[in-house]
Chain A
Amino acid sequence: MRYDAAIIGAGAEGLAAAALLAASGVKTIVVERSERAGGRATTREFHPGFRASPFVDELPPIPADIHWALDLSRRGAIFRPAPVSSAIWPNRQNVLRRGDASSVHRFLGAATERASDIRAHAAREIDNAPRHSFFPLFKAQPAPASWPGEGWMASSLGEVLAREIGDPDTAAHLAAAALNGRTADPLVTGSALHLSTLDSSGAVTGGLGRLADALIAAAREAGAELFLGRDATDIRHAKGRVTGVGLADGSAIEARAVISTLDLKRTFLSFFQWNALPKEIVHAVGNFRMAGATARVLLALDTALSSAVDRRGAIHVSPDLGDLAEANSAWRTGTIAPRLPMTLRVVSAADPMLAPSGQAVVTVTLGAVPYRLFDGAWTREKRDVLRRQALAALEMAMPGAGAHVIAADVIAPPDIEEALGATDGDLAGGELAADQMSSAWPDFPYPRCPLKGLYLAGSWLAMSATCAAGAAAARTVTADLTSGKLK
């Protein structure tokens, strides 16, 4: 089997890359370990009649040009940002509504702008590549004098929020939103970088699985092949350039370009023999910091919930900067903090298709949950700790709801690693720190890497836009194929 491009992983990035490559005439195949394509963008029935997206509820938006190029609206993937976000404490709450013309939203707008500057800065090199197909992914911008994230790098999340927001409740609310499902010490310099994730993420009506379906349709229609249930085991290479992908059944796919949508560590440390790789790659990848911090609890309830808070958006439970800092330091030592940062979403309130009528689905996203526990493996008892904390949060947000829980599914960091192939269950694909925000190899800006023919397209490369990393890789591969670099 000979292809122009082989893509490892059929998540949103892999599917978008496949669709865009195939549409520009590149012979493309996608290899996916699981029987179902979608990656993070899946929706699963976790209890008869109750469905939820197990790993994330929302994804960052797809840039308009990609959305248009893949014709996703017609295929039924409609992004729906949550209209509201709340934070609740035992005796008070703080609510932010989308579109309020307040200083908070001015701040959010500025933060989003800065995040896109950081993205554009990282993409500038890519943009310099000759353009042969589709559309300008990133607007060409004059080179900024310094790295646009410099200001955030030198301040802490708590400090920026205190300065820009003032109201401590709103500040704690935004800190919890920025750290949602991750962990960082919000009082340590540099944690302000997490503001770059405060973006207008959205859910997809019918669950994120709809997005996967739309992307699969787009890829298939464009002529890309999907190889499901096939486990890629190694990336073949000779004389410093990639020649194809080896599969678990012993067969191989020959390809001039290989796009990996897995994270940096997984790509290099599990698809290659270390001693066969150039030393600078092993060194850079070995030092890249990844660690999962997310756990999820999916709850099925036999009643439609009523509550004092607006249930159409995220509900952050008792956020407090000090607690976030302490949860982070517990996380670093491999312990489960007594008060984990938690975010509730009544996903069935915004999307009734997810639960039987008159019943409800609530997801709880827990942050600062260590992948490795200091006292051993993730046993049933330890999962129960997460379940109990999640139920306590539910009871606090919606008094009386605890009695109606008929099923609870706990997804711990190792489960996320198992299901998505994310190293250490790290959904973000690496610690968000200033030194990790540019390419690990100064001479090879992402999506390229020092190994000719290998491209990176994991969602971690463009964390505030879905499909952007896949599209960037597709564009670079098309350019390299047509310019003869991969002869």
Chain B
Amino acid sequence: MSADAIVVGAGVNGLVAATYLAQAGRKVVVLEAKDRLGGACRTASFASGFQGPTLAHALYALDPRAVAELKLARRGLKFAVRDMPLVLLRADGKHLVIGRDVRAAARAIAVHSRADAEVWPRFRRELFDLARAMRPFWWDEAGKKMPAAIGMLHRLGLAAWLDSQFESDAVKAALAGDAAPLSPLAPGSSLLLVWRAAQEMCGLQGASAIPLGGPGALIDALTAAAKIAGVEFRTGVHVSDILMKDGAAAGTVLDSGDEIAASLVLASFSRRQLLATRAGRAAFGFSQAAELERSVPAAASAKVLLALNTPPAFGGIAVPLRGRFVLADRVETFVTAHAAARAGRLPEELPMEIVFPTVGDPALAPLGQHVVSIRIAPLPRHVTGGWDAARLAAKAIAALDRCASGLARHVTAAQVLTPDDIAAGAEDECVESVERMLSHWPSRIRTPIDGLFLCGAASEPVGAVSGRAGRIAAALALREAAR
């Protein structure tokens, strides 16, 4: 069997890349190891009558160009919630709601600190301006030069940056939740916040959104676009190696031993995964291989889905349920959790992000009932004695119960994905770093093998559901193939 181009992995990036290649007139085959498409984006039933987002529960980084160019709206992508306010939950009922309205946010912040309320409009304006200045660099392959506006920010840890701007723990903790992949002490964590603010959803800068039907609906729209463009899919096939010919990629070898020939291969691999293939090992130099093989102390995450037989209710200040909720007392909660995670211990306080998908999309649960989607990060990759899903869920529910009292009694079903489960589902591990955020697109996408490009989330400046790596990898591959 042969094709013009092979795309390995049918996540968002793989689908985007495949569609772009097919639209350019190539015969494209997508190879997916699992039986279904979608990668980290999936809406699945977890209890009778309840559906929820298996991994990613809100989208904040979808590539606006891919959305427009692939006409995803016409393929059925609609949004249930277009702009989720950020809500910091607190046990004392003084919840903090930060929405798009700067003045309303300042009023909410004034409950915690008047000085912070005064700083907020300026801070937000500066953050958004800086973020927009960074867009060419993070959004397009053409953006080569890092804008000078970033100044010393890439050397500054988020904790230090926030300390220099705000005094109340609430505001700092709410913002730190957006940079959770890195410890707030690490350089680059400030940059994560800027990166987050540089994203655009539904035409709104720095917004988060939920597609109607959950993240799985995005995959449905992308699959429809790909099929219309003529992309061919093969699921349940595992790629074991890259086929090489005259020092360039010439296709893929499957586990079954079959070979598929193609002059272009776009793989949703990370560099470490590429190293696991024979061709990758041969292509990387010794020092580069050693660099990649070094175990990286990556923090992991867990996902909990709860079925609730009543609408969630929080005491204290009224909160919009369509928001995304952050549960953390202060910035140090993330610092401590990162320290504990790397020491292989479960942190005392679990930093959590919570979303209620059924608020915007009631069809996901029986009438009057709700789904709670909780993402817990950072967590250790492994704990001694192995992961105890029940204990993790109990701990998360107890933490949530402190802010929404009585909620625990209304939980009728739960699904827990421990870091082990998530690692087994998606072998791709994304390690955020300053270097990655400040490197150029081609350096992340190109490989030492001609004709082989990496189009997965690991090629993004920051790991997220985006599709940008797919679009840029496809463009790069087409341009280099034309040469």
On A, residues with C-beta under 8 Å from B are 153-154, 156, 158-159, 162-163, 185, 187-190, 286-287, 289, 321-323, 325-326, 328-329, 332-333, 431, 433-435
Contact = CB atoms under 8 A, between A and B. Distances in A.
Given A153-B155, A154-B435, A433-B160, A326 B187 contact: no
Contact of A154 (B183, B297, B342, B433): B433
13 contacts: A156-B186, A159-B296, A185-B183, A187-B339, A188-B157, A188-B183, A188-B338, A189-B188, A287-B164, A289-B160, A325-B342, A326-B340, A433-B155
Given A185-B185, A326-B340, A435 B435 contact: no
Nearest to B163: A289
A138 B28 CA distance: 61
Interface string B322-349: 0000000000100110111011110000
B245 interface: no
Contact of B339 (A154, A185, A287): A185
Contacts of B338: 185, 187-188
B152 interface: yes
Nearest to B190: A435
B479 interface: no
Nearest to A149: B155
A328 B183 CA distance: 13
A162 B336 CA distance: 22
B294 interface: yes
A346 B455 CA distance: 58
Interface of B: 152, 155-157, 160, 163-164, 182-183, 185-188, 294, 296-297, 332, 335-336, 338-340, 342-345, 433-435
A188 B189 CA distance: 11
B407 to A, nearest CB: 27
A286 B344 CA distance: 36
B162 to A, nearest CB: 11
A158 B297 contact: yes
B160 A329 contact: no
Closest 5 CB pairs of A and B: A322-B343, A434-B155, A189-B186, A287-B164, A325-B339
Given A153-B434, A322-B344, A326-B343, A333 B332 contact: yes
B187 A153 contact: yes
B294 A188 contact: no
Nearest to A184: B185
A178 B277 CA distance: 39
Nearest to A284: B164
A153 B433 CA distance: 11
B187 A154 contact: yes
A156 B332 CA distance: 19
A431 B163 CA distance: 14
Contacts of B344: 322
Given A185-B335, A188-B338, A329-B335, 7 more contacts: A185-B183, A185-B339, A188-B185, A323-B343, A325-B339, A329-B332, A434-B156
B335 A163 contact: no
Scoring A159, A289, A332 by chain B CB atoms within 10 A of each residue's CB, the highest score goes to: A332
B336 A329 contact: yes
B307 to A, nearest CB: 35
A325 B380 CA distance: 14
B343 A325 contact: yes
A333 B336 contact: yes
A189 B339 contact: no
Nearest to B185: A188
A189 B433 contact: yes
A158 B338 CA distance: 14
Contacts of B335: 185, 329, 332
Nearest to B344: A322
Contacts of A322: 342-345
A98 B336 CA distance: 36
Contacts of A289: 160, 163
Contacts of A332: 332, 335-336
A434 B163 CA distance: 16
Nearest to A322: B343
A378 to B, nearest CB: 21
Nearest to A326: B339
B116 to A, nearest CB: 15
A153 B332 CA distance: 21
Nearest to A327: B339
Nearest to A334: B332
Nearest to A333: B332
A193 to B, nearest CB: 10
Contacts of B340: 326, 329
B336 A434 contact: no
Contacts of A187: 297, 338-339, 342
Contacts of B155: 153, 190, 433-435
A189 B187 contact: yes
B473 to A, nearest CB: 25
A321 B344 CA distance: 12
A330 B206 CA distance: 33
Nearest to A286: B164
B448 to A, nearest CB: 21
A460 B205 CA distance: 42
A163 B292 CA distance: 11
A434 B338 CA distance: 20
Contacts of A158: 297
B149 to A, nearest CB: 14
A156 B335 CA distance: 15
B167 to A, nearest CB: 12
B157 A190 contact: yes
A328 B186 CA distance: 13
Contacts of B296: 159
B187 A434 contact: yes
Nearest to B434: A154
B294 A189 contact: no
Nearest to A323: B343
Nearest to B152: A435
A281 to B, nearest CB: 15
Contacts of A163: 294
Contacts of A162: 294
A159 B295 CA distance: 9
Contact of A188 (B186, B336, B345, B435): B186
Nearest to B297: A187
B42 to A, nearest CB: 31
Contacts of A185: 183, 185, 335, 338-339
A329 B339 contact: yes
Nearest to A147: B155
A185 B335 CA distance: 9
A159 B186 CA distance: 13
Contacts of B185: 185, 188, 190
Contacts of A156: 186
A367 B188 CA distance: 26
A189 B182 contact: yes
Contacts of B345: 322
Contacts of A189: 182-183, 186-188, 433-434
A127 B388 CA distance: 61
B290 to A, nearest CB: 8
Nearest to A162: B294
Contacts of B163: 287, 289
Contacts of B297: 158-159, 187
B292 to A, nearest CB: 12
Contacts of B433: 154, 189
Contacts of A325: 339, 342-343
B449 to A, nearest CB: 25
B434 A433 contact: no
Contacts of A329: 332, 335-336, 339-340
A153 B191 CA distance: 14
Contacts of B164: 286-287
Contacts of A431: 160
Contacts of B342: 187, 322, 325
Contacts of A435: 152, 155-156, 160, 187
